[in-house]
Amino acid sequence: MADDRAEYVLEMLGIYKSFPGVQALDDVSLHVRPGKVHALMGENGAGKSTLMKCLFGIYREDGGEIILKGRLAKFHSAKDALEAGVSMIHQELSNVPERSVRENIWLGREPLHRFGPITFLNHGKMHRDTAALMKRLEMNIDPADRMGGLSISKQQACEIAKAVSYEASIVVMDEPSSSLTETETEHLFRIIRDLTARGVAVIYISHKMSEIFQIADDVSVMRDGKMLGTWPASELDEDKLIKLMVGRDNTQRFPTVDSEIGELRLEVRGLTSAESRSFKDVSFDLRRGEILGIGGLVGAQRTELVEAIFGLRKTSCGEILVNGKRAVIRSPRDAIRHGIGLITEDRRGSGIFPLLSVTENTAVASLGSYIRGGLLLEHRRIEAEARRFNEQLRTKTPSMWTQIQNLSGGNQQKVLVSRWLMTLPEILIMDEPTRGIDVGAKFEIYTIMAELARNGKSIIMVSSEMHELLGMSHRVMVLCAGRHTGTLEGPEASQENVMRLATQFE
């Protein structure tokens, strides 16, 4: 039955697309059934977002055909696609931070009032329709709130609401869950099930393997710009899927962490945020060669804590000791001077200089160590070092001088990981280090973490992925509502115990 053409709401046939130096899509075909969830899988840079941008009229394909509900479709812009019933949640947040939630949702199709020859925006309707939409989707977001003031996950929820509001017959979701918590993701899945029950087809892109098996009906796998094929999700399992994606038989998830734990490197004593509802009285130690995981639910204030240690947030009391000496850290510059590096959670928002090259984006935090004679930057050495770290992580880029904005989402993140590795920090803090990164590259990042630890570096890893938290950490410290509720080690460090400590005050 799957080969009955009338059964497809969308067919993309023999699509080609190239960029300077890259054949991003090479004869790619995709068949999507109505009322089903179709997962699109592949490593970073495989071509998933490019294929969807061709569908959505953002890129014009070099060749091939797009057939929507049996009719040849030619979209010249996202507006054409939306009018034809295709909506998309982008991998990058694409809202207007200064505007309200309701303005963002109705942007470009605002309801109008007409009084004779005069038209003006119907704010009342915009507000009511947004409120109704939020209610239907069970989202607790005020239509009048300023978009930029919302948390990343709420902004993501607004993007989801916006995509749903078009009442499209195909909704493309390019990594919609990458900044959502587990509960929020379950909520998203309820929305997806509601959509498919109404006959909508959902094309779902995610690097979170377990999600695919929860939600997908069909799974298509891309590798290096080519489509390998489509399988019913019921015929695949995680190992088979990983093997298809990476094209090799390496399904080992974590390297062995066999570093030697040495002397105390970082001591945090009674650290309390200057903000009232943030972390309070947090103490912990970190030793040489150690990987300390920090677990907890959203709202546990893990990011706030590590940002404070890195000098990005104010504290009201408590102290930080580095190598036994009191360290005054009021800015990231102070932190870097004390040998601390932070790979932030919100890499897309704060980390990237889109117009600068891969080399520049990698080197920007370590330029200070490449100055000779006061002014002269050692360009050759900078490029060589930047290249070395990106090669270690297998960043896929046409060249080291390509603008970072032209890299796929996951590859941009690898560049930012390289940036902090290049500062050669003694203490590396990683906030959700593998978010949005494909399975193969995850393993590479874990391997680098293990190697850093073996070389005597100390690592703090904030992670919401239970497997990596337990798989990579010597000890797991858990926060709940800004309080340190416990630290687990050895056989104690189990999923149940982490969850118990993470929900202690709920």
Of the candidates 366, 360, 282, 356, the one whose C-alpha atom is nearest the C-alpha of residue 316 is 282
Nearer to ligand ATP, 21 or 111 (CB): 21
Nearer to Mg ion, 439 or 493 (CB): 439
Per-residue contact flags (x/-) with ligand ATP for residues 12 to 31, judged by CB under 6 A: -------x--x-x-------
Candidate residues 15, 45, 84, 271; the one interacting with ligand ATP per rule CB under 6 A: 45
According to DSSP, residue 62 is labeled S
Residues near 372 by beta carbon (within 8 Å), at least 6 away in sequence: 378
- Residues 66-105, interacting with ligand ATP (CB under 6 A): 91
- Which sign does the torsion angle of CA 309, 311, 317, 322 carry? positive
- Which sign does the torsion angle of CA 214, 251, 396, 343 carry? positive
Of the candidates 93, 92, 94, the one whose C-alpha atom is nearest the C-alpha of residue 49 is 92
Candidate residues 409, 433, 436, 482; the one interacting with Mg ion per rule CB under 5 A: 409
Q: Which does residue 396 bind out of ligand ATP, Mg ion, none, counting CB within 5 to 8 angstroms by kind? A: ligand ATP
Binding part of the chain for ligand ATP, among 47-55, 188-196, 235-243, 314-322 by CB under 6 A, reads 47-55
Nearer to ligand ATP, 56 or 106 (CB): 56
- Residues 245-304, interacting with Mg ion (CB under 5 A): none
Least distance in Å: CB of 42 to Mg ion?
A: 9
**CA–CA separation, 116 and 57 (whole Å):** 36
Tracing tokens 């009391």 back to the chain, one arrives at 317
Is residue 38 within 8 A of residue 52, CB to CB? The reply is no
Tracing tokens 């460090």 back to the chain, one arrives at 493
Q: Which does residue 44 bind out of Mg ion, ligand ATP, none, counting CB within 5 to 8 angstroms by kind? A: ligand ATP
**CA–CA separation, 303 and 349 (whole Å):** 15
Looking at residue 216, its amino acid is A
Q: Should residue 176 be labelled a site residue for Mg ion when binding is judged by CB under 5 A?
A: no
**CA–CA separation, 393 and 389 (whole Å):** 7
**DSSP run (H or E) holding 416:** helix 409-422
Backbone angle region of 256, left / alpha / beta, with phi > 0 → left and psi within -120 to 50 → alpha: beta
Per-residue contact flags (x/-) with Mg ion for residues 67 to 96, judged by CB under 5 A: ------------------------x-----
Nearer to ligand ATP, 244 or 488 (CB): 244
Q: Which does residue 502 bind out of Mg ion, ligand ATP, none, counting CB within 5 to 8 angstroms by kind? A: none
Q: Should residue 177 be labelled a site residue for Mg ion when binding is judged by CB under 5 A?
A: no
Residue nearest to ligand ATP (CB): 410
Query: What 3-state DSSP class applies to 229?
Result: strand
Binding part of the chain for Mg ion, among 253-261, 332-340, 400-408, 492-500 by CB under 5 A, reads 400-408
Binding part of the chain for Mg ion, among 12-20, 45-53, 209-217, 433-441 by CB under 5 A, reads 45-53
Least distance in Å: CB of 398 to ligand ATP?
A: 7
Is residue 383 within 8 A of residue 359, CB to CB? The reply is yes
Nearer to ligand ATP, 103 or 438 (CB): 438
Is residue 363 within 8 A of residue 450, CB to CB? The reply is no
Binding part of the chain for ligand ATP, among 38-46, 157-165, 416-424, 488-496 by CB under 6 A, reads 38-46
**CA–CA separation, 225 and 205 (whole Å):** 15
Tracing tokens 């295709």 back to the chain, one arrives at 86
Least distance in Å: CB of 18 to ligand ATP?
A: 9
- Residues 379-418, interacting with ligand ATP (CB under 6 A): 396, 406-411
Identify the burial level of 364 via C-beta atoms within 10 angstroms of its C-beta, where 0-12 means exposed, 13-18 middle and 19 or more buried: middle
**CA–CA separation, 306 and 230 (whole Å):** 42
Candidate residues 49, 95, 178, 434; the one interacting with Mg ion per rule CB under 5 A: 49
Q: Which does residue 12 bind out of Mg ion, ligand ATP, none, counting CB within 5 to 8 angstroms by kind? A: none
Of the candidates 438, 398, 431, the one whose C-alpha atom is nearest the C-alpha of residue 414 is 438
Of the candidates 386, 377, 464, the one whose C-alpha atom is nearest the C-alpha of residue 421 is 386
Binding part of the chain for ligand ATP, among 45-53, 61-69, 415-423, 494-502 by CB under 6 A, reads 45-53
- Residues 419-448, interacting with ligand ATP (CB under 6 A): 438
Q: Which does residue 42 bind out of ligand ATP, Mg ion, none, counting CB within 5 to 8 angstroms by kind? A: ligand ATP
**Residue ranges in contact with ligand ATP by CB under 6 A:** 19, 22, 24, 42, 44-50, 91, 396, 406-411, 438
**Residue ranges in contact with Mg ion by CB under 5 A:** 49, 91, 408-409
